[in-house]
């Protein structure tokens, strides 16, 4: 049986993809021609030492390969763009609790983007107040299924770059408040 490529490693509909560095601290956004167009810091994978370190490190490594990279929680993360834009950032949202308050945000080349989670498996991308795309994740586990995207406007390269960040690092759909409470209790 051939090994399935995890969802986060698959190219987007436009041919863009994400790759991570060896230390798993940075994600690069790569355009269809293979050029790195942006880099963003990601949540580092913990490295354990001690009695059960080998087992713990194997589990966290396997979880990273399955689930993929994610942004540091609730803080704006600078995005290094090519060409350079000092103001560029992406954030996975500032609130816990209600799903609608977990909107991702990005500012790239003077454009303001929002990634609004509309359900447990779906989200809308908004540019400067106008909905430009809708995402839906199909499949229950991170490596299953695919993400579909419906574009509501013609997208340029900047839009594609941000849509790739949203699709691969934020992912459509978020758990609601009940899931947050149960996660906090564990």
Q: What digits encode the pLDDT tens for the residues 153-169?
A: 999 999 999 999 999 98
DSSP 110: T
Give the pLDDT score at 111: 93
Q: CA 182, CA 186: separation in Å to the nearest integer?
A: 7
C-alpha 147/C-alpha 78 separation (Å) is: 25
**Tokens, residue 7:** 């969802």
Q: Is residue 147 helix, strand or coil?
A: strand
22-63 residue pLDDT tens: 888 999 999 999 999 999 999 888 888 888 888 888 998 888
pLDDT at 30: 95
Contact 103, 114 (CB under 8 A): yes
Q: Which pLDDT score, from 0 to 100, does residue 162 have?
A: 94
| pTM summary value | 0.82
């Amino acid at each position: 049986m051939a090994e399935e490529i995890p969802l986060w490693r698959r190219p987007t509909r436009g041919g863009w993809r994400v790759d991570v560095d060896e230390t798993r601290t940075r994600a690069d956004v790569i355009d269809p021609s293979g050029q790195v167009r942006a880099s963003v810091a990601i949540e580092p994978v913990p490295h354990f030492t001690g009695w059960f370190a080998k087992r713990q490190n194997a589990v966290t490594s396997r979880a990273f390969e399955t689930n993929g990279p994610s942004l540091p929680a609730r803080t704006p993360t600078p995005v290094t763009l090519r060409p350079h834009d000092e103001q560029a950032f992406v954030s996975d949202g500032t609130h816990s609790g209600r799903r609608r308050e977990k909107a991702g945000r990005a500012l790239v080349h003077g454009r303001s983007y929002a990634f609004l989670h509309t359900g447990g498996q779906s989200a809308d991308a908004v540019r400067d107040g106008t909905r430009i795309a809708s995402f839906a994740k199909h499949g229950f586990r991170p490596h299953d299924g695919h993400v579909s995207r419906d574009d509501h406007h013609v997208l340029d390269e900047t839009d594609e770059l941000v849509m790739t960040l949203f699709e691969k690092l934020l992912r459509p759909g978020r758990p609601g408040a009940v899931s947050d409470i149960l996660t906090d209790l564990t």
